[in-house]
Structure 1
Amino acid sequence: MAGFVRHRRSKHIIATLSGFEADLLRSLAAQLIELLHNEAAIPTESADPLERLFADFSGPTTLPEDPVLARLFPDAYGADEVDAAAEFRRFTESTLRDGKSRAAATIIDTLEEAGLPTEPTEEELTIDVEMDGPTAEVWMRALTDLRLALGTRLEVEEGDEDYWYSLPDDDPRGQAHHIYEWLGYLQETLIHALTA
Protein backbone atom coordinates (compact mmCIF):
# COMPACT_ATOMS: atom_id res chain seq x y z
CA MET A 1 0.00 0.00 0.00
CA ALA A 2 1.32 3.38 -1.00
CA GLY A 3 -1.00 5.35 1.27
CA PHE A 4 -3.43 8.12 0.44
CA VAL A 5 -2.72 10.73 -2.21
CA ARG A 6 -4.69 13.55 -3.79
CA HIS A 7 -5.65 12.94 -7.41
CA ARG A 8 -4.28 15.75 -9.57
CA ARG A 9 -7.39 16.31 -11.68
CA SER A 10 -10.38 15.30 -9.58
CA LYS A 11 -8.84 16.52 -6.29
CA HIS A 12 -10.31 13.41 -4.66
CA ILE A 13 -8.30 11.46 -2.09
CA ILE A 14 -7.35 8.01 -3.42
CA ALA A 15 -5.59 4.87 -2.21
CA THR A 16 -5.17 1.34 -3.43
CA LEU A 17 -5.59 -1.30 -0.73
CA SER A 18 -5.07 -5.02 -0.95
CA GLY A 19 -8.14 -7.09 -0.17
CA PHE A 20 -6.47 -8.09 3.10
CA GLU A 21 -5.83 -4.47 4.10
CA ALA A 22 -9.36 -3.40 3.19
CA ASP A 23 -10.87 -6.32 5.09
CA LEU A 24 -8.67 -5.57 8.12
CA LEU A 25 -9.84 -1.93 8.12
CA ARG A 26 -13.46 -3.05 7.85
CA SER A 27 -13.01 -5.51 10.72
CA LEU A 28 -11.37 -2.89 12.97
CA ALA A 29 -14.12 -0.37 12.18
CA ALA A 30 -16.82 -2.98 12.91
CA GLN A 31 -15.18 -3.85 16.25
CA LEU A 32 -15.06 -0.19 17.19
CA ILE A 33 -18.75 0.25 16.34
CA GLU A 34 -19.59 -2.75 18.52
CA LEU A 35 -17.57 -1.32 21.41
CA LEU A 36 -19.18 2.11 21.05
CA HIS A 37 -22.67 0.62 21.34
CA ASN A 38 -22.06 -0.24 24.97
CA GLU A 39 -25.43 -0.56 26.69
CA ALA A 40 -24.47 1.91 29.42
CA ALA A 41 -24.51 4.77 26.91
CA ILE A 42 -27.81 3.91 25.25
CA PRO A 43 -30.87 5.45 26.90
CA THR A 44 -33.61 2.98 27.73
CA GLU A 45 -36.91 3.25 25.89
CA SER A 46 -39.71 4.71 27.94
CA ALA A 47 -43.46 4.84 27.41
CA ASP A 48 -43.63 8.25 29.13
CA PRO A 49 -43.65 10.97 26.40
CA LEU A 50 -41.87 13.46 28.66
CA GLU A 51 -39.09 10.99 29.41
CA ARG A 52 -38.73 10.24 25.68
CA LEU A 53 -38.50 13.98 24.98
CA PHE A 54 -35.57 14.32 27.39
CA ALA A 55 -33.92 10.99 26.50
CA ASP A 56 -31.14 12.83 24.66
CA PHE A 57 -30.18 14.45 27.96
CA SER A 58 -30.05 11.28 30.04
CA GLY A 59 -26.72 9.77 29.04
CA PRO A 60 -24.10 8.20 31.28
CA THR A 61 -22.54 10.30 34.04
CA THR A 62 -19.42 8.31 34.94
CA LEU A 63 -16.20 7.56 33.12
CA PRO A 64 -16.54 4.24 31.24
CA GLU A 65 -14.87 1.26 32.90
CA ASP A 66 -13.41 -0.02 29.62
CA PRO A 67 -9.97 1.65 29.21
CA VAL A 68 -10.55 2.18 25.47
CA LEU A 69 -13.86 3.94 26.05
CA ALA A 70 -12.31 5.97 28.87
CA ARG A 71 -9.58 7.07 26.42
CA LEU A 72 -12.10 7.91 23.69
CA PHE A 73 -14.38 9.76 26.16
CA PRO A 74 -12.16 11.30 28.86
CA ASP A 75 -13.59 13.52 31.58
CA ALA A 76 -13.96 17.12 30.42
CA TYR A 77 -13.07 18.46 33.85
CA GLY A 78 -10.38 17.78 36.42
CA ALA A 79 -10.65 15.22 39.20
CA ASP A 80 -11.81 17.89 41.66
CA GLU A 81 -14.85 18.79 39.51
CA VAL A 82 -16.70 15.47 39.57
CA ASP A 83 -20.21 16.96 39.40
CA ALA A 84 -19.38 19.19 36.41
CA ALA A 85 -17.73 16.26 34.60
CA ALA A 86 -20.76 14.04 35.23
CA GLU A 87 -23.18 16.70 34.00
CA PHE A 88 -21.13 17.39 30.88
CA ARG A 89 -20.87 13.66 30.12
CA ARG A 90 -24.62 13.21 30.60
CA PHE A 91 -25.33 15.75 27.85
CA THR A 92 -22.56 14.80 25.40
CA GLU A 93 -21.34 11.21 25.55
CA SER A 94 -24.24 9.54 23.73
CA THR A 95 -23.99 12.02 20.86
CA LEU A 96 -20.21 11.63 20.70
CA ARG A 97 -20.56 7.83 20.61
CA ASP A 98 -23.03 8.11 17.75
CA GLY A 99 -20.66 10.38 15.82
CA LYS A 100 -17.70 8.05 16.29
CA SER A 101 -19.85 5.08 15.30
CA ARG A 102 -21.02 6.86 12.12
CA ALA A 103 -17.42 7.73 11.25
CA ALA A 104 -16.34 4.08 11.60
CA ALA A 105 -19.36 3.03 9.51
CA THR A 106 -18.20 5.46 6.80
CA ILE A 107 -14.99 3.44 6.49
CA ILE A 108 -17.00 0.26 6.03
CA ASP A 109 -19.38 1.87 3.53
CA THR A 110 -16.55 3.44 1.50
CA LEU A 111 -14.66 0.15 1.29
CA GLU A 112 -17.74 -1.79 0.24
CA GLU A 113 -18.71 0.87 -2.31
CA ALA A 114 -15.17 0.54 -3.71
CA GLY A 115 -15.74 -3.17 -4.29
CA LEU A 116 -14.80 -4.98 -1.09
CA PRO A 117 -17.04 -8.07 -0.95
CA THR A 118 -19.26 -8.25 2.12
CA GLU A 119 -17.90 -11.72 2.87
CA PRO A 120 -14.15 -12.51 3.03
CA THR A 121 -12.86 -14.17 -0.12
CA GLU A 122 -9.80 -16.22 -1.02
CA GLU A 123 -9.52 -14.29 -4.25
CA GLU A 124 -6.57 -11.89 -4.57
CA LEU A 125 -7.97 -8.43 -5.09
CA THR A 126 -7.16 -4.79 -4.77
CA ILE A 127 -9.58 -2.07 -3.77
CA ASP A 128 -9.27 1.42 -5.24
CA VAL A 129 -10.71 3.78 -2.65
CA GLU A 130 -11.67 7.26 -3.82
CA MET A 131 -13.31 9.89 -1.65
CA ASP A 132 -14.02 13.58 -1.57
CA GLY A 133 -12.59 15.93 1.06
CA PRO A 134 -15.46 15.73 3.58
CA THR A 135 -15.45 11.91 3.46
CA ALA A 136 -11.67 11.88 3.87
CA GLU A 137 -12.05 14.07 6.98
CA VAL A 138 -14.50 11.54 8.42
CA TRP A 139 -11.98 8.78 7.67
CA MET A 140 -9.35 10.86 9.48
CA ARG A 141 -11.46 11.02 12.63
CA ALA A 142 -12.24 7.29 12.44
CA LEU A 143 -8.59 6.33 11.91
CA THR A 144 -7.69 8.44 14.95
CA ASP A 145 -10.28 6.56 17.03
CA LEU A 146 -9.08 3.18 15.74
CA ARG A 147 -5.48 4.03 16.56
CA LEU A 148 -6.38 5.32 20.03
CA ALA A 149 -8.39 2.17 20.71
CA LEU A 150 -5.65 -0.21 19.61
CA GLY A 151 -2.91 1.78 21.33
CA THR A 152 -4.88 1.75 24.58
CA ARG A 153 -5.50 -2.01 24.38
CA LEU A 154 -1.80 -2.61 23.75
CA GLU A 155 -0.80 -0.08 26.45
CA VAL A 156 1.50 1.69 24.00
CA GLU A 157 3.57 4.42 25.62
CA GLU A 158 5.78 7.12 24.21
CA GLY A 159 9.35 5.92 23.74
CA ASP A 160 8.59 2.18 24.06
CA GLU A 161 9.54 1.31 20.45
CA ASP A 162 12.48 -0.88 21.55
CA TYR A 163 10.10 -3.12 23.47
CA TRP A 164 7.82 -3.62 20.48
CA TYR A 165 10.68 -4.26 18.06
CA SER A 166 12.20 -6.81 20.45
CA LEU A 167 9.15 -9.08 20.32
CA PRO A 168 9.42 -12.23 18.18
CA ASP A 169 7.68 -12.14 14.79
CA ASP A 170 5.06 -14.66 15.93
CA ASP A 171 4.08 -12.72 19.08
CA PRO A 172 0.45 -11.56 18.67
CA ARG A 173 1.22 -8.34 20.58
CA GLY A 174 3.93 -7.49 18.07
CA GLN A 175 1.58 -8.24 15.18
CA ALA A 176 -1.09 -6.00 16.72
CA HIS A 177 1.54 -3.28 17.16
CA HIS A 178 2.35 -3.53 13.43
CA ILE A 179 -1.33 -2.85 12.75
CA TYR A 180 -1.16 0.12 15.14
CA GLU A 181 1.81 1.51 13.20
CA TRP A 182 0.08 0.85 9.88
CA LEU A 183 -2.93 2.85 11.06
CA GLY A 184 -0.51 5.66 11.93
CA TYR A 185 0.93 5.47 8.42
CA LEU A 186 -2.56 5.66 6.92
CA GLN A 187 -3.30 8.67 9.14
CA GLU A 188 -0.11 10.43 8.10
CA THR A 189 -0.64 9.92 4.37
CA LEU A 190 -4.29 10.99 4.69
CA ILE A 191 -3.24 14.21 6.45
CA HIS A 192 -0.74 14.95 3.67
CA ALA A 193 -3.34 14.22 1.00
CA LEU A 194 -5.90 16.49 2.68
CA THR A 195 -3.45 19.36 3.01
CA ALA A 196 -1.83 18.99 -0.44
Structure 2
Amino acid sequence: MNGWTRKNGHLRAEFAPQEAAVIRGLVGQIKDMLAARADEAPVDELTELTGIRTGPATPPEDRVLGRLLPDFYRSDPETGESDEEETGAAGAMRSLHEPELLELKTGVAATVLETCPPEGGTVKLTEEQADSWMSAINDVRLALGTALDIDEDMPDELPEDDLRREHLNVYQWLTWVQDNLVEAMSS
Protein backbone atom coordinates (compact mmCIF):
# COMPACT_ATOMS: atom_id res chain seq x y z
CA MET A 1 0.00 0.00 0.00
CA ASN A 2 1.38 3.36 -1.01
CA GLY A 3 -1.09 5.41 0.99
CA TRP A 4 -4.56 6.85 0.84
CA THR A 5 -5.36 9.60 -1.66
CA ARG A 6 -8.45 11.70 -2.22
CA LYS A 7 -9.87 11.87 -5.73
CA ASN A 8 -13.31 12.98 -6.92
CA GLY A 9 -14.74 12.91 -3.41
CA HIS A 10 -13.53 9.38 -2.67
CA LEU A 11 -10.60 8.03 -0.72
CA ARG A 12 -8.54 5.44 -2.53
CA ALA A 13 -5.73 3.06 -1.77
CA GLU A 14 -4.18 0.11 -3.50
CA PHE A 15 -3.74 -3.01 -1.37
CA ALA A 16 -1.48 -5.94 -2.21
CA PRO A 17 -3.12 -9.37 -1.83
CA GLN A 18 -1.32 -10.07 1.46
CA GLU A 19 -2.26 -6.64 2.86
CA ALA A 20 -5.91 -7.19 2.01
CA ALA A 21 -5.73 -10.66 3.57
CA VAL A 22 -4.30 -9.24 6.82
CA ILE A 23 -6.97 -6.55 7.07
CA ARG A 24 -9.83 -8.87 6.13
CA GLY A 25 -8.58 -11.60 8.46
CA LEU A 26 -8.14 -9.39 11.51
CA VAL A 27 -11.34 -7.40 10.97
CA GLY A 28 -13.20 -10.67 10.41
CA GLN A 29 -11.87 -12.07 13.69
CA ILE A 30 -13.01 -8.98 15.58
CA LYS A 31 -16.44 -9.17 13.93
CA ASP A 32 -16.74 -12.85 14.93
CA MET A 33 -15.73 -12.07 18.54
CA LEU A 34 -18.31 -9.31 18.75
CA ALA A 35 -21.02 -11.49 17.17
CA ALA A 36 -20.30 -14.24 19.71
CA ARG A 37 -20.66 -11.69 22.50
CA ALA A 38 -23.99 -10.52 21.03
CA ASP A 39 -25.17 -14.13 21.11
CA GLU A 40 -24.61 -14.11 24.90
CA ALA A 41 -27.40 -11.55 25.36
CA PRO A 42 -30.10 -12.79 27.70
CA VAL A 43 -33.49 -13.72 26.28
CA ASP A 44 -35.91 -11.00 27.33
CA GLU A 45 -39.64 -11.18 26.66
CA LEU A 46 -39.92 -7.40 27.05
CA THR A 47 -37.66 -6.92 24.03
CA GLU A 48 -40.41 -8.21 21.75
CA LEU A 49 -42.98 -5.91 23.37
CA THR A 50 -40.88 -2.76 23.70
CA GLY A 51 -38.20 -3.17 21.04
CA ILE A 52 -35.58 -2.31 23.67
CA ARG A 53 -32.77 -4.81 23.49
CA THR A 54 -30.71 -5.79 26.49
CA GLY A 55 -27.27 -7.29 26.72
CA PRO A 56 -25.25 -8.99 29.41
CA ALA A 57 -24.90 -7.01 32.64
CA THR A 58 -21.39 -8.32 33.28
CA PRO A 59 -18.26 -7.38 31.37
CA PRO A 60 -16.62 -9.92 29.07
CA GLU A 61 -14.16 -12.27 30.76
CA ASP A 62 -11.82 -12.20 27.77
CA ARG A 63 -9.46 -9.24 28.22
CA VAL A 64 -9.32 -8.45 24.49
CA LEU A 65 -13.10 -8.33 24.26
CA GLY A 66 -13.13 -6.40 27.53
CA ARG A 67 -10.91 -3.77 25.89
CA LEU A 68 -13.33 -3.48 22.97
CA LEU A 69 -16.34 -3.29 25.31
CA PRO A 70 -15.09 -1.40 28.38
CA ASP A 71 -17.11 -0.60 31.46
CA PHE A 72 -19.17 2.56 31.42
CA TYR A 73 -17.67 3.60 34.75
CA ARG A 74 -13.98 3.89 35.56
CA SER A 75 -12.20 2.48 38.57
CA ASP A 76 -8.98 3.83 39.96
CA PRO A 77 -6.45 0.97 39.57
CA GLU A 78 -4.66 1.90 42.80
CA THR A 79 -7.55 2.57 45.16
CA GLY A 80 -10.32 0.58 43.47
CA GLU A 81 -12.62 3.60 43.83
CA SER A 82 -15.17 3.97 41.05
CA ASP A 83 -17.05 6.91 39.58
CA GLU A 84 -20.13 4.69 39.63
CA GLU A 85 -22.79 6.61 41.55
CA GLU A 86 -25.04 3.68 42.49
CA THR A 87 -24.23 0.04 43.04
CA GLY A 88 -25.24 -1.96 39.99
CA ALA A 89 -25.33 1.06 37.70
CA ALA A 90 -22.42 -0.26 35.62
CA GLY A 91 -24.27 -3.51 34.92
CA ALA A 92 -27.47 -1.67 34.06
CA MET A 93 -25.62 0.70 31.70
CA ARG A 94 -23.85 -2.22 30.03
CA SER A 95 -27.10 -4.14 29.66
CA LEU A 96 -28.80 -1.18 28.00
CA HIS A 97 -26.02 0.10 25.76
CA GLU A 98 -23.87 -2.89 24.82
CA PRO A 99 -26.28 -4.21 22.13
CA GLU A 100 -26.07 -0.90 20.26
CA LEU A 101 -22.29 -0.76 20.65
CA LEU A 102 -21.98 -4.31 19.31
CA GLU A 103 -24.21 -3.43 16.36
CA LEU A 104 -22.10 -0.37 15.56
CA LYS A 105 -18.81 -2.26 15.83
CA THR A 106 -19.98 -5.23 13.73
CA GLY A 107 -21.42 -2.77 11.21
CA VAL A 108 -18.11 -0.98 10.66
CA ALA A 109 -16.36 -4.34 10.38
CA ALA A 110 -18.89 -5.43 7.76
CA THR A 111 -18.18 -2.26 5.76
CA VAL A 112 -14.45 -3.05 5.70
CA LEU A 113 -15.13 -6.62 4.62
CA GLU A 114 -17.48 -5.39 1.87
CA THR A 115 -15.08 -2.77 0.51
CA CYS A 116 -11.72 -4.53 0.81
CA PRO A 117 -11.31 -6.93 -2.11
CA PRO A 118 -10.19 -10.40 -0.95
CA GLU A 119 -7.57 -10.61 -3.70
CA GLY A 120 -6.26 -7.11 -3.06
CA GLY A 121 -6.58 -4.18 -5.42
CA THR A 122 -8.14 -0.76 -5.30
CA VAL A 123 -10.24 0.25 -2.31
CA LYS A 124 -12.51 3.22 -3.06
CA LEU A 125 -14.37 4.70 -0.09
CA THR A 126 -16.96 7.37 0.58
CA GLU A 127 -16.44 9.55 3.65
CA GLU A 128 -18.88 7.37 5.61
CA GLN A 129 -17.08 4.18 4.58
CA ALA A 130 -13.74 5.79 5.49
CA ASP A 131 -15.12 6.53 8.97
CA SER A 132 -16.05 2.84 9.23
CA TRP A 133 -12.54 1.84 8.19
CA MET A 134 -11.02 4.08 10.85
CA SER A 135 -13.27 2.62 13.54
CA ALA A 136 -12.72 -0.98 12.47
CA ILE A 137 -8.94 -0.58 12.22
CA ASN A 138 -8.96 1.09 15.62
CA ASP A 139 -10.81 -1.92 17.06
CA VAL A 140 -8.22 -4.26 15.54
CA ARG A 141 -5.40 -2.15 16.97
CA LEU A 142 -7.03 -2.12 20.42
CA ALA A 143 -7.44 -5.89 20.33
CA LEU A 144 -3.95 -6.55 19.00
CA GLY A 145 -2.41 -4.04 21.41
CA THR A 146 -4.15 -5.75 24.34
CA ALA A 147 -3.12 -9.23 23.21
CA LEU A 148 0.50 -8.10 22.78
CA ASP A 149 0.59 -6.06 26.01
CA ILE A 150 1.61 -2.96 24.07
CA ASP A 151 2.20 0.12 26.18
CA GLU A 152 4.10 3.38 25.83
CA ASP A 153 7.27 1.75 27.18
CA MET A 154 7.42 -0.96 24.49
CA PRO A 155 10.31 -0.46 22.06
CA ASP A 156 9.60 -0.04 18.34
CA GLU A 157 11.43 -3.30 17.65
CA LEU A 158 11.45 -6.42 19.74
CA PRO A 159 14.30 -8.96 19.97
CA GLU A 160 14.26 -11.63 17.28
CA ASP A 161 13.39 -14.33 19.82
CA ASP A 162 10.29 -12.43 21.06
CA LEU A 163 7.20 -14.21 19.71
CA ARG A 164 5.33 -10.90 19.55
CA ARG A 165 7.77 -9.42 17.04
CA GLU A 166 5.85 -10.15 13.82
CA HIS A 167 2.54 -9.18 15.37
CA LEU A 168 4.05 -5.88 16.51
CA ASN A 169 5.01 -5.20 12.87
CA VAL A 170 1.39 -5.76 11.86
CA TYR A 171 0.23 -3.44 14.66
CA GLN A 172 2.64 -0.73 13.49
CA TRP A 173 1.53 -1.14 9.85
CA LEU A 174 -2.13 -0.83 10.87
CA THR A 175 -1.24 2.32 12.81
CA TRP A 176 0.30 3.75 9.64
CA VAL A 177 -2.74 2.74 7.53
CA GLN A 178 -5.05 4.45 10.01
CA ASP A 179 -2.90 7.59 10.36
CA ASN A 180 -2.57 7.87 6.59
CA LEU A 181 -6.34 7.56 6.19
CA VAL A 182 -6.87 10.34 8.74
CA GLU A 183 -4.44 12.57 6.83
CA ALA A 184 -6.17 11.87 3.52
CA MET A 185 -9.58 12.60 5.01
CA SER A 186 -8.28 15.89 6.43
CA SER A 187 -6.86 17.10 3.11
Fold in common (TM above 0.5):
yes
Aligned to 1:132: 126
User: What does 1:24-103 align with in structure 2 at a 5 Å threshold?
Assistant: 24-39=22-37, 42-44=40-42, 48=45, 50-54=46-50, 56-79=52-75, 80=82, 81=84, 82-103=87-108
Query: 1 CA distance for matches of 2:20 and 2:130?
Result: 15
Give the aligned length: 178
- Counterpart of 2:179, as a letter, is E
Query: What SS is found at the alignment partner of 1:37?
Result: helix
Query: 2 CA distance for matches of 1:60 and 1:45?
Result: 10
Deviations 1:3-33 (A, max 9, x none): 21212xx121000110110011111111001
- Counterpart of 1:127, as a letter, is G
Aligned to 1:4: 4
Query: 1 CA distance for matches of 2:66 and 2:142?
Result: 11
1:54 to partner: Cα distance:
4.8
TM-score by length of 2: 0.86
Deviations 1:168-187 (A, max 9, x none): 1x754110110000110001
User: What does 1:145-164 align with in structure 2 at a 5 Å threshold?
Assistant: 145-161=139-155
The structure carrying a bigger helix percent of its residues is 1
1:39 to partner: Cα distance:
4.4
TM-score by length of 1: 0.82
Aligned partners of 1:5 and 1:192 also within 8 Å: no
- Where does structure 1 differ by over 2 angstroms across 4 or more consecutive aligned residues? 38-46, 50-58, 78-82
Query: 1 CA distance for matches of 2:65 and 2:110?
Result: 17
Q: Does 1:180 align with 2:178?
A: no
Aligned CA distance change for structure 1 residues 40 and 127 (closer, same or farther; 3 Å)? closer
Query: 1 CA distance for matches of 2:53 and 2:126?
Result: 34
1:72 to partner: Cα distance:
1.2
Aligned to 2:159: 167
Aligned to 2:183: 192
Query: 1 CA distance for matches of 2:74 and 2:162?
Result: 38
Flag structure 2 segments of 5+ consecutive residues without an equivalent: 76-81
RMSD: 2.0
Query: 1 CA distance for matches of 2:50 and 2:147?
Result: 34
- Counterpart of 1:58, as a letter, is T
Query: 2 CA distance for matches of 1:102 and 1:40?
Result: 13
- Counterpart of 1:157, as a letter, is D
Match of 1:16 among 8, 11, 14: 14
Aligned CA distance change for structure 1 residues 39 and 189 (closer, same or farther; 3 Å)? closer
Q: Which is worse superposed, 184-193 or 61-70?
A: 61-70
- Counterpart of 1:75, as a letter, is D
Query: 1 CA distance for matches of 2:38 and 2:124?
Result: 36
Flag structure 1 segments of 5+ consecutive residues without an equivalent: 118-125
Aligned partners of 1:36 and 1:97 also within 8 Å: yes
Query: What SS is found at the alignment partner of 1:15?
Result: strand
